[in-house]
Chains A and B, each alone.
Chain A
Amino acid sequence: MAVRLQTEPFDLGAEVARLTEGRSDVGAVVTFTGVCRNRADSGAELVALTLEHYPGMVEEELGRIEAEARARWSLADALVVHRHGRILAGEPIVLVVTLAPHRAAAFDAAEFLMDYLKTSAPFWKQEETADGRSWVASKAVDDLAAERWKK
């Protein structure tokens, strides 16, 4: 189980290979990759996103979210990789990998991790277009997505 913060892009295949190497108890591997779209929320063409974060709290908060996922589902392993700094359109931003004996737990835990990460991990996106830079507003749909996991 791990969370990782980095500026450089990640390699999905290499991450999964490392997580599954030498294991035969895992029946399901679910991966989610969040990618930087080429459209800003305004519809303008997006050049890049810059992600600001709260050093220290991000790692702690991601760790708390991952611990919650482990408490709810029987996971063999899990990984969250999140980038910060300047990310160009088309590049990956975030990776979530869950490993479980069966697919239901792997799917649900991956979705839970993403939903919670979006609303509680201290990251803020700034869009860069030909018109300049602007902060991305939070979306009600993301709050609703996280809300549905509340018991």
Chain B
Amino acid sequence: MKLLYFAWVRERVGLAEEEAEAPAGVGTVAELIDWLRGRGPEYEHAFEAGPAIRAAIDKRHARPDAPIAGAREIAFFPPMTGG
């Protein structure tokens, strides 16, 4: 699947997007965040806010317990500040 990062999550990870395959057992948004945090200090720094980081699956807001099976694109970003 494709992972996208925005705003300070993007800056901390150091990438705007990447392709990744989560290992078996990673079934939800929260589990995906836990797995990403273990990939290196830049991910740990980006996701240290834990549940404060928002996610979207295929361009729809997704809660931490949302299943990621079948997702083509998962985005991570800080709380939104438009308007």
Contact = CB atoms under 8 A, between A and B. Distances in A.
B80 A122 contact: yes
A103 interface: no
Given A52-B6, A54-B4, A57-B75, A118 B80 contact: yes
A84 to B, nearest CB: 9
Nearest to B7: A124
Interface in B33-83: 56, 59-61, 75, 77-83
A82 B80 contact: no
Contacts of A136: 81
A33 to B, nearest CB: 11
14 contacts: A54-B4, A54-B6, A60-B60, A82-B83, A93-B83, A119-B80, A122-B82, A123-B81, A124-B82, A125-B81, A135-B81, A136-B81, A138-B79, A138-B80
